[in-house]
Amino acid sequence: MHTNNAAQLDISLARDVFLRSLIRELSGVLEEVVGIEQANGFISVVGQNIGEVINQEYRTAFNVSQLSHEQVAQVLVDLKRRIQGDFYIISQDAEKIIFGNHRCPFEDKVIGRNSLCMMTSNVFGTITAENLGYAKIELVETIARGHDGCRVVVYLKPESATKVEGNEYFRT
């Protein structure tokens, strides 16, 4: 069908796709211009700021000054669900919480953009540390690195995470 009306064209452009594409390109430019380590740092700051806002929203909604261990686990799953991720708890104990994920909120835009995983690391780390005192986030598997899903371990005690690579977070 031929048309002169742009509104009738079959173009997959919507706000969500546009914003995910924008973030993908921004992270790609950062990775190329300043390097992956610096890009991780910039995105980490954004993730920390977002984590602080989200943490306060959940604390207010729960009407508590600090979230409990169980509430933190619930919040981390719920916040990802609300942004169209598919995180779930594989296991949890006093030492760590292990999450799985089938769908990234960035969808296919995350592939090859490892720095975007700093959003998960920093949001999870900030919320956990601000409520439980400490967190170390290990990104075992990520969709960004080509895995079918994600496996994220949130360590709750420094002594449990000494031999693990990841980012550490402390209550401010």
- The tens digit of pLDDT for each residue in 8-21 reads 888 877 888 899 89
Q: Top-level CATH class of 9-170?
A: alpha beta
Residue 89, φ and ψ in degrees, nearest 5: -85, 125
User: How sure is the predictor about 1, in pLDDT bands with cuts at 50, 70 and 90?
Assistant: low
For 66-82, b/e burial (b = at least 16 CB within 10 A) is ebeeebbbebbbebbee
- The tens digit of pLDDT for each residue in 120-134 reads 999 999 999 999 999
Q: What is the 3-state secondary structure (H, E, C) of the chain?
A: CCCCCHHHCCCCCCHHHHHHHHHHHHHHHHHHHHCHHHHHHHHHHHHHHHHHHHHHHHHHHHCCCCCCHHHHHHHHHHHHHHCCCCEEEEEECCCEEEEEECCCCCHHHHCCCHHHHHHHHHHHHHHHHHHHCEEEEEEEECCCCCCCCEEEEEECCHHHCCCCCCEEEECC
Q: What is the pLDDT of residue 14?
A: 85
